[in-house]
Each structure stands twice: as C-alpha cells, then as structure tokens.
Amino acid sequence: MEDKDIIALYWARSEEAIRATAEKYGGYCAAIIRRVLGDGRDSEECLNDTWLGAWNAMPPQRPERLPPFLGRIARNTALDRCDYNAAQCRGAGFEAVLEELAECVGGRPMEEDFDLRRLGEAISAYLDTVSPECRRVFLRRYWYCDAIREIAEGYGFTQGKVKSLLHRARKGLRAYLIEEGYDL
C-alpha cells in the first residue's frame, strides 16, 4: 500500500490504517525503538504507542513523508519510556551517543541553557553545510543511534572513516553553535 493511501486511511479514521502502518513500517519503527531502549521489554509497548501517536496526530497533520514522521514518533515514544525508567536505558548504545554529543552542547542540562527548538534548527542548519555523506553518517549515529560498525557496513566505509567523519562533524557542530551564540 502506498504511503498516501495509508495517510488517507488515517484521515478517514479507518482502523485499517494502523494495520497497514504496522505491516509496512513495523520493522523500521521497532529498530529505532530498540536503538534507544536496548533489548528492552518495553519495545513492543512503545511500538503500540507509536501507532497510537500516529492515530492521534493524523488528522490534523498530513505528513509529506511517512517514514520520518513515524520515525520521529517512535523515537520520542522510546525516549519518553527511557525517561520513565528513571533515565536508565538498559542498553549502553543510547547513553554512548549522548556522551559523544555532550562535547558539542556542554555538560549542563540543555533544558536550562537552550531553547531546544532553536538548538534543533541550528543543528539542522549546520548539517546543511556538510557533505551529504557526513550528514547521512551523522543522522544514522545521532538520530537513529546506529552503531559505528553498522554505519560502516551500511556505507562500505571502514570504522575508522566513520569515527573520523563523526569527530569532524562534532567539532564543526561545536564551532558552529559557538558562532551562533551558544555558550558551550
């Protein structure tokens, strides 16, 4: 089923929309959730919460691209569950990703120092300045929480190249954020 047809089912408030979404994007969303939570027992519940979140969001929203829309809901649902579990994600993968990014945004809680929407816009603007290759690697690591080994295999790079791309991207992001007025 095409994405536009799935979205139309949501707008028609047909329960078939959830079945079609789970069939087409269940693996994609489950992978995102597992990256955040680890092997977690909460993954299935977060996946169901993702479908509920999509149901509640459409309408009024009509996403242009369904995969990133669902991926954002899945990721946010998993992050909420992670917070609920006293910020103790069972897998070290997500914590490692946060530690890597901490060098770019400082050690203080971001909620105290930054308007998160403005920060997100600044990061997006920075990513527009880097090569498509660097942007893809950065997003795979810091949005999807993919392991360096998986990124390297996915793009045919060595792990050293992926680490180097990420290091340069973080260094560039830090410089960009300082230039934009963030006190890091």
Q: Is the pLDDT of residue 114 over 50?
A: no
Q: How far apart are CA 22 and CA 24, in angstroms?
A: 6
The verdict on 23 and 48 lying in the same domain is yes
Binned at pLDDT 50, 70 and 90, residue 117 comes out as confident
The verdict on 104 and 173 lying in the same domain is yes
Q: Which of 26, 61, 84 is the last residue of a domain?
A: 84
Q: DSSP assignment of 118-137, as one string?
A: HHHHHHHHHHTTS-HHHHHH
Q: How does pLDDT run across 124-169, given as a tens digit for each residue?
A: 999 999 999 999 999 988 888 888 999 999 999 999 999 999 999 9
The verdict on 111 and 80 lying in the same domain is no
* C-alpha distances in Å from residue 148, one per residue of 1, 164, 167: 33, 11, 12
The verdict on 72 and 101 lying in the same domain is no
* Structural domain of 36: 3-84
Longest dimension (CA), the chain: 49
**What average pLDDT does this structure show over 47-54?**
94
Binned at pLDDT 50, 70 and 90, residue 110 comes out as very low
The verdict on 107 and 59 lying in the same domain is no
- Least confident residue range of 78-82, 110-114, 143-147: 110-114
Q: Which of 33, 64, 84 is the last residue of a domain?
A: 84
Query: pTM of the prediction?
Result: 0.63
Report if residue 184 sits inside a domain: no
* C-alpha distances in Å from residue 2, one per residue of 8, 17, 20, 51: 10, 11, 10, 17
- Average confidence score pLDDT of the chain: 84
Q: pLDDT exceeding 70 applies to what percent of the chain?
A: 80
The verdict on 161 and 102 lying in the same domain is yes
Q: How far apart are CA 87 and CA 60, in angstroms?
A: 31
Q: Which of 64, 84, 104 is the last residue of a domain?
A: 84
